[in-house]
Structure 1
Amino acid sequence: MPSAAQLTFPAGAARISERITALGVYQLPVAAEDGDKVPSERFEGRIIRRTWRVDGQSTVLQILAPLRDQLEGLGYEVRLDCAARDCGGFGFRFGIEVVPAPDMMVDISRYHFLSAVRGQDAISILVSRTGAAAFVQMISVGPGRAAAEAEKPVVQAEPGPALPVELAKVLEVRGHAVLTDLVFDSGSTRLRDGEYDSLRELAGYLAANPQYRLLLVGHTDTVGSQAQNAGISERRAQSVKERLIETHEADEGRIDVAGAGFLAPIASNLIPEGREANRRVEAVLLAD
């Protein structure tokens, strides 16, 4: 039996992101949402999180089914195979680990999830369509060499460079977007000096679309009290607003700020990677 899954992706698939945890814990979903919880099985080892964008008209199942067949051919046992509503819809989507947007985009009504196990190795695949493209997330975990080599997909067509998802598309499809390139000084609410593509794009989008306003929402992890985090998150959102105005001449009257603290996590606060993902500022699109 091969020590690593060699999966063939459809033509048009392009890698967006890769995140590797040398040693961590992944709670593999193994059943649909049950009573506001997603049943899971614990796996420990090297965790590899990858995402792809697949252009074209393929449906979610047309993308997932060949990947499932390949995993079964490699000796993996499927633990969970469900479509959006059967998985639990909104509750399932926010009860599992999902790579933050724009690297992974999930339409609550158009996704399919698969988890599979082979010995101490585990894999989950999440596929969703949003707009004109589909997005694929694969998380693999396992001990030692098998996990280190796991999931080296082959794309049928010659792969191109990673495709960043345009911020404007994320805003128009989802109504909000995480500003993933922002950097704050450690322990500070001050946005570090530098050029940020997300802010340049936001300002340009705002100028080109006078029918919209923006709400900048700060978010934190769960370290500290909610009252403290609400204040910190709002001040960080305010610093982003000030940079948009000062550097990119954005219209101050069309940008509001708010601080959510730790009330809206997008990842688990029980692991460092999750807490890092939760410390973020999001742009929310509003009608003027």
Structure 2
Amino acid sequence: MRLHHRLATILVAAASLLTLPARAAEGFAPDVPGAADHPLIKRFNGSWLAGQRVSDWDAAAVPAAPEFQKADKYKFKDLIELEGKITRLLYVAPRGKSALEVWRNYEQALNAAGFKKRFACERDCSDLYFAWSRQLDPTKGFTWAKGDLDTPTGSRYSLTSALSFDQGRMLVGTLGKPGQEATVLLYTSLAANATTGLVATYLQVVEPKAMATGQVTVDPAALQAGLAAEGRVTLTGLFFDTGKTELKPESKAQLDAMAELLKSQPALKAWIVGHTDNVGPFDANEKLSFARAQAVVAALTAAPYKVDGKRLTARGLASLAPLAGNGDDAGRARNRRVELVAQ
């Protein structure tokens, strides 16, 4: 969806206009080659675009609120799981601009464009910063950012420390029409620390976008081989919307292959087992994983497949059997799955 065709471009105005020579005088490197502002949100005037990472389709998570788990204050109580086109940008504002000035300009421009705020943290945000950086690792080491942060005294800091808890502020919300909203996370802070005299801004925009399908074919023989080798096989062709239990239409190829396998192996009985990542309360994830497994059983026992229901049993294990760590998007994506397990 081209949201920028439906929304007005956001212009973020600074208190004074800075020219490119002024930026060069700050010692900033040129913008990362090929990088550009997101069409919806322009940079604070005079800022250096130090890094950009764009995923045409992927998963991301943002805090649902600045609330933390009782057992671990550096883990959020609830996260919003998102899928779609993800753009991540890192900016460094010109020296002499305060963190509050940069923040207020972004906030005012977003509000003027119809931004719907989910939450904002403007003071005492250090716990939020540490939970966000440790649980979600938004910058992933900033391997996609280029350059260094120079101080007036000649010291230098890597961009891996560009974001900090010092004067950190976060804003989360949506922009756009219902059903077409882009989810925006904005974080500003002093860049590394006060000695740099600089302000860093991290911007993440997740735009709703359908995943390209038909890229993988499902072979019933491959399912049988997986069962023979390990007694279970991950059903990568089953698709659900985030937090939902209804199978999406693009799951048909996987269901066809499962039905064909069960038809060719009349003695086979199987568990259909749902799994989740560890985001959110365990009880809710257990119910979600079980309901998704039930949805698969229901689809296979109904027309046109009509598999005998006595051959399939649904179970939900939530996050009890992960395939990968839950510390990043890639690991959480692997852990959200449904498996076919031979009884």
Greater share of strand: 1
TM-score of the superposed pair, with normalisation by structure 2: 0.36
- Between 1 and 2, higher relative CO (CA 8 Å, sep ≥ 6) is seen in 1
Structure whose alpha-carbon radius of gyration is higher: 2
